[in-house]
Amino acid sequence: MPQPIIFTITEAGKQAALNANADSAQLKINLTQVAVGTAQHLATGNETALTSEVKRGSIVSGDIEVVSNTLRFTTSMSGDTKTDVYEVGLFTDDGVLFALAGSNTTPLFSLHPDITFVIGFGLSLQDVAADSVTVSTDPNGALSVVIMEQHLAAPNPHPQYAKASDIQDHIDDPDAHEQYLKTSDFVDDHLNHVDPHDQYVLDVEHDQDMDDIAQEQALINQWQNDHLSILNPDDSVPNPHPQYVLKSMFNQAIAALNQRINELAETAGVGAVLGRIDVTFTGETNGYSQVNSTIARVNFTLSTSGSFNLVRSGAFANTFISDFECQPASTSRRLELNYPAGYDPLEHEVRSNNTSIAEKVDGTGITFYVPYTSDTDVDGAKKYTVNATYYFEIVKI
């Protein structure tokens, strides 16, 4: 629920009203401006100014409702930044804080940049004589409110846009796009046509062609049977056509060939390189150090060939290895590569020019060491350098 805005007429405001009644020359006090602030507090009536004023604007419309003795007024303003308003003050033309509304919990309202905020207020004048108060408005500000009200009341304030009713009429039109052929007409004509696809053979014609082919094949088979019975009626001629290979001999040759093909297939690819990774490591410490050193960045270049390669992980996630530790008692650092999916130790083997290669404990890949060298100056400080190139191949065994 929005925070109610309840004004309290200040003691200074009441005094200004009394002074106006007593001064026949002044006659009335004139309310002209509305100010807003960000200080959180409740109005006591003793204030003479806002605690933390951030914005002030003119009254753009206002009047006194005689029956209820209520002052009603409107102002408009916008914020330079988003501003939560906790205090609102109504000022006279000579700068007197006539009335104040405040909140010490939630904002009364908020101002936003590039958005003109129009707000109307009501203020009971029961504590002062209503006839001693007048309201002066900003004619330009009032014009903006009138223009906004006319805009909201216009039957079609945005003629550049299509009305929803017009869009609905278009949707309801049974033939909104008469320049196009209706789907129903096209589909019905197509389906009812005797031969809508004359580039293809009709099913009935295809069936007839197949029947004709079957009859011709039957005649050929019959001729072959008759031919064999004539040439070899008593099976006395085992090979009536010596210029041709006997079917039995041909089948034996085919069987022997298939057996040899299977034998070759079993040994095919043995020793073949299924995939290869080539990687070069380079890096060095910035200078000499008396303590254990770390190379901040060891760059590596990596290229692959083949489709069955070891998988990069861990230190290989980027294009360099960071924090490459170098210890005086050691000369290398351990790195890892994982087996690809489908790797079978009974059928595959990893080969490399890195002699430190070993299988990971969990059997999911390999480990290897990248060596580094050190150079010692006259003070015993060391400088570490990495410069190595390796290949890793998956070979069929």
> Edge-to-edge strands of the sheet including 358-359?
311-312, 332-338, 365-371, 358-359
Most confident range, picked from 47-61, 111-125, 178-192, 209-223: 47-61
**Token pair in block for residue 157:** 């304030």
pTM of the model: 0.38
Q: Is 293 exposed, middle or buried (0-12, 13-18, 19+ CB in 10 A)?
A: buried
Spatial separation of the C-alpha atoms in residues 5 and 123, rounded to whole Å: 10
Q: Is the pLDDT of residue 286 over 60?
A: yes
Spatial separation of the C-alpha atoms in residues 357 and 367, rounded to whole Å: 6
Q: pLDDT above 70 covers what percent of the chain?
A: 87
Question: Of 307-311, 331-335, 391-395, which range is least confident?
Answer: 331-335
Tell me which DSSP letter residue 289 carries.
B
3-state secondary structure of 149: helix
Residues 69-74 have a mean pLDDT of 91
**Token pair in block for residue 108:** 């009364």
**Contact present, 235 and 362 (Cβ < 8 Å):** no
**Element holding 121 (H helix, E strand):** strand 117-124
**Mean pLDDT across the chain:** 85
pLDDT for 24 equals 45
Neighbours of 53 (CB within 10 A): 14
Residues 271-290 have a mean pLDDT of 92
Neighbours of 316 (CB within 10 A): 19
Displacement of CA 55 from its chain's centroid (Å): 40
Q: Which residues are within 8 A (CB) of 108 and not within 5 positions of it... i.e. 6 or more apart?
A: 3, 5, 85, 86, 87, 88, 101
β-partners of residue 119 are 75
Q: Which residues are within 8 A (CB) of 97 and not within 5 positions of it... i.e. 6 or more apart?
A: 10, 12, 13, 47, 48, 49, 50, 89, 90, 91
Displacement of CA 382 from its chain's centroid (Å): 49
pLDDT for 125 equals 85
Q: Is the pLDDT of residue 27 over 70?
A: no
Who has greater pLDDT, 152 or 127?
127
pLDDT for 365 equals 96
Residues 182-193 have a mean pLDDT of 75
